Amino acid sequence: MVEWGPLAGLDGIDWAGSGHAYGSAEDVPEQLRALRSADAGERGRALDALYGNIFHQGSRYEATAHAVPFLLALVADPGTPDRAELVHLLAALAIGFDEVHLPDGVAIAAWRAAVRQARAGGAEGARRRFDGWIAQADGEAERRARERRRDTFDFERSCRAAEYELRAYDAVRAGVPTLCGVLTDPDPRLRAAAAYAVGWFPEEAPRILPRLRDLPATESVPGVAANAIVAIGLLGDAAQIAPLRAYHQGADEPLARWAAATALARLGAADLEVIAELAACTVDPPADDEAVPMGFFDGDLRAYASSSLAALEAGELPVDVLESILAGLSRTSGPSAFAITDAALRLAFGTEALGAPAPAFADLSAARRRVVATLAELDVDTWKWVDFRELLRARDLPDDRAACRRYAGLAQD
């Protein structure tokens, strides 16, 4: 088959010889073709399949970077349906799950250095690092678990995985002109998706920022403006602070004020007004624009605000900030609680473990007791997640709901 239009050259790729999560990537061309189908169901199934095979649980593969130029070409073609969804897929292929990079943005220099250093030390260097990690294990059970990790570690596979991720990032980075080009598209969902996506490429900031700077003041759709403002904060420097502060103080739209506060916090300009905005968001976040949602943190503004506050110097925060975060935490459940729990623990406990066994509950500070009691009151749907329990385990706090309630002196339910 000879392809024309945005998929020209699709059959020139050795898809069968390229891999994804389930082996050969020979199914990817048909999935890419299906993204232009007139049948919405067929397009949805193709998009789901691509998320499953070239972005499986956040991993990227050899075939991922090969697919990116075709996805960019589809985004550039006005005849392609659902282009906003394709832009979000491209952002995911570039960076994985965005909460890993927030609130600071992509630390691309450190990422590139880590990929280079992974191979530079060789398999023997990796084993020495494992041995040092094992020597620091706290107890026999943890030592054995760490030894199992070492003994099953595949050095070459790990290096390839890291290289595939960076290749995918750079393939999407090459499409920044395409993403900037749709910032003025008539479709507000596409404009919002593009504003979200370009925020992940700090090396391209000189090209991107001129396209973003005027967008908040001229954009009539709150969701588009908010995505652009957050992206400015992720890409900008001190030169962006004054216009962002003016926008924060003058904006009537709550979503835009939250975005400006988020951007200012990222740029190290979190005064009391900004902190108050973020703290209020952790309790009662502004309504997301359902028609044009926020891309960042999957639209979870409470989690994003909590993470932004936790990244600030704790000594500079008013004492009621932690209370605001805990009030918001008490209103969450399941995975939505993870980022807010992490923020509360970081503010009250820092990053260090208490030491086993944990001190008596009565010996904790008032702030720490309040955090533990709030966590103990969270529902079973939150406590069932390993990700949540590991946050407590890292501080040597009880990682079982019943045990945590006993520790805090709460009745069992």
Q: What is the pLDDT along the chain (413 residues), one digit of tens a residue?
A: 556 689 999 999 999 999 999 999 999 999 999 999 999 999 999 999 999 999 999 999 999 999 999 999 999 999 999 999 999 999 999 999 999 999 999 999 999 999 998 888 788 888 888 888 888 887 787 888 888 888 888 888 888 999 999 999 999 999 999 999 999 999 999 999 999 999 999 999 999 999 999 898 899 999 999 999 999 999 999 999 999 999 899 888 999 999 999 999 999 999 999 999 999 999 999 987 778 889 999 999 999 999 999 999 866 688 789 999 999 999 999 999 999 999 999 999 988 888 878 899 999 999 999 999 999 999 999 999 999 999 999 999 999 999 999 999 998 87
Same domain, 266 and 324: no
Is residue 366 a part of any domain in this protein? yes
Q: Which of 300, 333, 350 is the last residue of a domain?
A: 300
Is residue 120 a part of any domain in this protein? yes
Longest dimension (CA), the chain: 73
Same domain, 122 and 195: no
Is residue 56 a part of any domain in this protein? no
Q: Which of 243, 273, 300 is the last residue of a domain?
A: 300
366-375 contacts: CB < 8 A, separation 24 or more?
Answer: 367/322, 369/408, 370/322, 370/323, 370/326, 371/322, 371/326, 371/344, 371/345, 372/397, 372/404, 372/407, 372/408, 373/408, 373/410, 374/326, 374/329, 374/330, 374/344, 375/329, 375/341, 375/344, 375/404
Same domain, 188 and 277: yes
Is residue 42 a part of any domain in this protein? no
Alpha-carbon separation of residue 95 from 102, 198, 412 (angstroms): 11, 11, 42
Same domain, 129 and 155: yes
Peptide bond into 210 cis (omega under 30): no
Same domain, 296 and 180: yes
Same domain, 180 and 265: yes
Same domain, 247 and 280: yes
Host domain of residue 147: 108-164
Q: How far is 304 from 310, CA to CA, in rounded Å? A: 10
Tell the residue number behind the tokens 């945005």, with chain if given. Answer: 6
Is residue 180 a part of any domain in this protein? yes
Is residue 12 a part of any domain in this protein? no
Cβ neighbourhood burial of 120 (10 Å; 0-12, 13-18, 19+): exposed
Same domain, 191 and 292: yes
Sign, CA dihedral 393-377-373-310, equals positive
Same domain, 182 and 293: yes
Give the pLDDT score at 92.
Answer: 98
Q: How many domains does the chain have?
A: 3
Give the pLDDT score at 1.
Answer: 53
Give the pLDDT score at 316.
Answer: 67
Is residue 51 a part of any domain in this protein? no
Kind of pairing between the strands at 19-20 and 23-24: antiparallel
Total-model pTM: 0.92
Is residue 21 a part of any domain in this protein? no
Same domain, 143 and 183: no
Same domain, 190 and 280: yes
Same domain, 390 and 273: no
Cβ neighbourhood burial of 264 (10 Å; 0-12, 13-18, 19+): buried
Q: Which of 300, 332, 348 is the last residue of a domain?
A: 300
